[in-house]
Amino acid sequence: MQDSQIIRTEYSDVMKKSYIDYAMSVIVARALPDVRDGLKPVQRRTLYDMYELGIRYDKPYRKCARIVGDTMGKYHPHGDSSIYEALVVMAQDFKKGMILVDGHGNFGSIEGDGAAAMRYTEARLAKITQEAYLADLDKDIVDFMPNFDETEKEPEVLPVRIPNLLVNGAEGIAVGMATSIPTHNLGEVIDAVKAYMKNDEISTKQLMKYVKGPDFPTGGIVVNKDDLLNIYETGTGKIKIRGKVEVEEMKGGKKRLVITEIPYTMIGAGIGKFLNDVCALVESKKTSDIVDISNQSSKEGIRIVIELKRGADIENLTNMLYKKTRLEDTFGVNMLAVADGRPETMGIKKIIEHHVDFQFELATRKYQTLLNKEKDKKEIQEGLMKACDVIDLIIEILRGSQSVKDAKACLTNGVTDNIKFKSGISKKMAAMLRFTERQATAILEMRLYKLIGLEIEALMKEHDETLKKIARYEDILNNYDSMADVIIEDLEKIKAEFARKRRTMIENAEEAVYEEKKIEEQEVIFLMDRFGYAKTIDTNIYGRNKEAADTENKYVISCMNTGKVCLFTNTGKMHQVKVLDLPYGKFRDKGLPIDNVSNYDSTQEEIVYICDAEQMRYARLLFATKQGMIKKVEGTEFQVAKRTISATKLQAEDEVISVQVISENQNVVLQTKDGYFLRFTAMEVSEKKKGAIGVRGIKLRKNDELEQVYLFEEGTEAKVTYGEKEVTLNRLKMAKRDGNGTKARV
């Protein structure tokens, strides 16, 4: 048994190296696209596997399960769901500028419906993918590398002839970084590439004469045109997109708003959320102009119809939709991709530069391969032509040879030792033959019909063609302009066949401004039952149902409908609720859980006091905790904009048991769980800030805790029940704060 070697090292160094290795693996080999072909590894492998399986655009569809399984088994040893999701996205025309996969079956919808299971759907390569992404793979155009188990070869990058990173965009989250590249118009991007190839000193501003801005498959309107130059120079920024809204006339003078295009960011669940947001605007009375909303979208396109009241302010309502819903949204741009093996944020010029360099590399390798092939053909053609001139001698050599090896040796090196000749002249001529190895093989394999005059003539014509091709390929390889012309010619063919009109409008639009309808201020009654369901009702309704309201509800307070209600909890927090967020209506309406309209969590905390935020401004609050700590706090301390703040500081394992409004002429009585009562004046309680713990109100005995706090006016009678006995608070002995208290006899 060998001695095991123990390496002593710093733990942090091992963790650092391991994490960096993991991060780089995610960045380079999973989440980020390559700047050359604009594809992530899973996309590249899926497309290459379809190419290998022969699932071409002009061949029948094949089951996606077959494609996914083959890709997983050969090239991508990860979960089948990640491969299928990548395949689905490449087939969704509402996500990609150009679909790369032609899907057959249910591949999901723009409204967020998922694709059917892979066993039901079928796919094949799209025509553009086959012609512009996978062409010439047989010409040694890109490097191949071993797959994960070294049983197959896969391309390091696909020979994509268009700037796919710009055309189809990209989204991905890596470790410590993310990419978000919008889609662009194929024709515009090709024009920009041509302009760069003709003048590599071209500026981003000049490139933007060709690429106007993003071109999202969902259309929409980009409204911050002036920001685009900076975004395309730096590779980062924010694009504001709006949906397209049209106004349609209806019978009776009514009108309706029809949304025919949505922001790209609204794809999926965003459409359902938009409908809910519009309904919420109506329910919260932010607008009374909307009568009905319906989603009439179909395969033909988006159509969301909002029916309006007669005389509705259309411009104001449209601006409200832009402001209050995702009909206007922001697309965060971060043009991050893997360039030369490392992640880099690039502007549009840098991306085009990398693309053009890649195209020249592809063209060089392609035409070098073609040149070598033509040179091989030329060699064979010249050998055959030469053989035709001495065909009688060659026939004599073949008839006099004992083996193919002897005949080949004679043709290549003039070796005549083992060959019988009819004459010495033939032997001398045979000794002078110097065909190449390839030429000799071609001569030996040549069929007799090749000696027909027309065949010889065809051979000579073919040789002329080969010489022309060699001259052309050498010109392309040796001259930048010639190679550039070839690349541009290819791009123009792709543009002519696959480019389409721009879908997204680019403009500078004014900030959406709308006048919020002022709510008539009125006094309402806040009701909350013991289950936490809250609502507000009119004061008159409360007056008619006062007895039932007070009996059935745990909290009943008066407040303004434009104000806020404050909830103090046992954890020392204060939550604020806008009164307008609560349902307003009938007395018998159920209401809404208070958790739904605030940060209060009924599973983690308990409400100890509720009050109107405005009325609290003029009050002092008495806080008391289970461990006997008390303090007074000015109500103005709680006049804050935040929805949740810390209302008091608590010691370990302590909690708030009481919050009450206190005045200077009141008496305070503290009652513990074990029945000790301590009475003192409100003047005894120290005034503190909300961030303070407070002072001790009563000395607690072991395992005892503060249970109740009572307040009563000096000179008034106050009675409470403890156990089964009635305790008269005003008869308790007056003492000082921080005393032991008097035991109540039960």
- Catalytic, 210? Answer no
Establish if 47 belongs to a structural domain. yes
Q: Which of 126, 159, 192 is the last residue of a domain?
A: 159
Choose, from 22, 120, 480, 618, the residue flagged as catalytic. Answer: 120
* Whether residues 533 and 638 fall in one domain: yes
* pTM more than 0.85: no
Q: Give the long-range contacts of residues 634-639, CB within 8 A, separation 24 or more.
A: 634/687, 637/689, 637/690, 638/566, 638/574, 638/613, 638/690, 639/613
Predicted confidence (pLDDT) per residue in 569-601, tens digit: 999 999 999 998 888 878 888 888 999 889 999
* Whether residues 318 and 413 fall in one domain: no
Residues of the chain with pLDDT under 70: 1-4, 451, 453-454, 514-518, 745-746
* Whether residues 621 and 718 fall in one domain: yes
Predicted confidence (pLDDT) per residue in 462-508, tens digit: 899 999 999 999 999 999 999 999 999 999 999 999 999 999 999 98
Q: What SS3 class is residue 701? A: coil
* Whether residues 447 and 555 fall in one domain: no
The DSSP annotation for 162-177 comes to S-HHHHT-EEEE-SS-
Helix, strand, coil % over all residues of the chain, rounded to 5: 40, 25, 35
* Whether residues 250 and 314 fall in one domain: yes
Domain that holds residue 739: 523-743
Establish if 592 belongs to a structural domain. yes
Q: Please report the sign of the dihedral spanned by the C-alpha atoms of residue 452, residue 454, residue 455, residue 459.
A: positive
Number of domains in the chain: 4
- Phi-psi domain of 114 (left: phi exceeds 0; alpha: psi -120 through 50; beta: other): beta
* Whether residues 657 and 731 fall in one domain: yes
Sheet holding 523-528, edge to edge: 555-560, 523-528, 533-538, 592-593
- Residue 307: the pLDDT is 92
Establish if 342 belongs to a structural domain. no
- Residue 413: the pLDDT is 86
Angle between helices 64-74 and 80-91 (to 10 degrees): 130
Q: Residue 652 contacts by C-beta under 8 Å, 6 or more apart in sequence?
A: none
Establish if 281 belongs to a structural domain. yes
In the structure encoding, which two tokens stand for residue 432, read together?
């002078």
Radius of gyration of the chain measured on its C-alpha atoms: 42
* 3-state DSSP of 388-407: HHCHHHHHHHHHHCCCHHHH
In the structure encoding, which two tokens stand for residue 677, read together?
């009562």
Q: Which of 117, 142, 159 is the last residue of a domain?
A: 159
576 neighbors 644 (Cβ within 8 angstroms): yes
Angle between helices 453-478 and 348-389 (to 10 degrees): 150
* Burial group, residue 200, by CB count within 10 angstroms (0-12, 13-18, 19+): exposed
Establish if 203 belongs to a structural domain. no
CATH number for position 415: 1.10.268.10
CATH number for position 585: 2.120.10.90
Closest CA to 289 of 256, 259, 263, 246: 256
* Whether residues 600 and 738 fall in one domain: yes
What pairing do the DSSP bridges indicate for beta strands 676-681 and 666-672? antiparallel
- Residue 373: the pLDDT is 93
Closest CA to 671 of 621, 630, 714: 630
CATH number for position 274: 3.30.1360.40
- Residue 1: the pLDDT is 46
Predicted confidence (pLDDT) per residue in 190-230, tens digit: 999 999 999 999 999 999 999 999 999 999 999 999 999 99
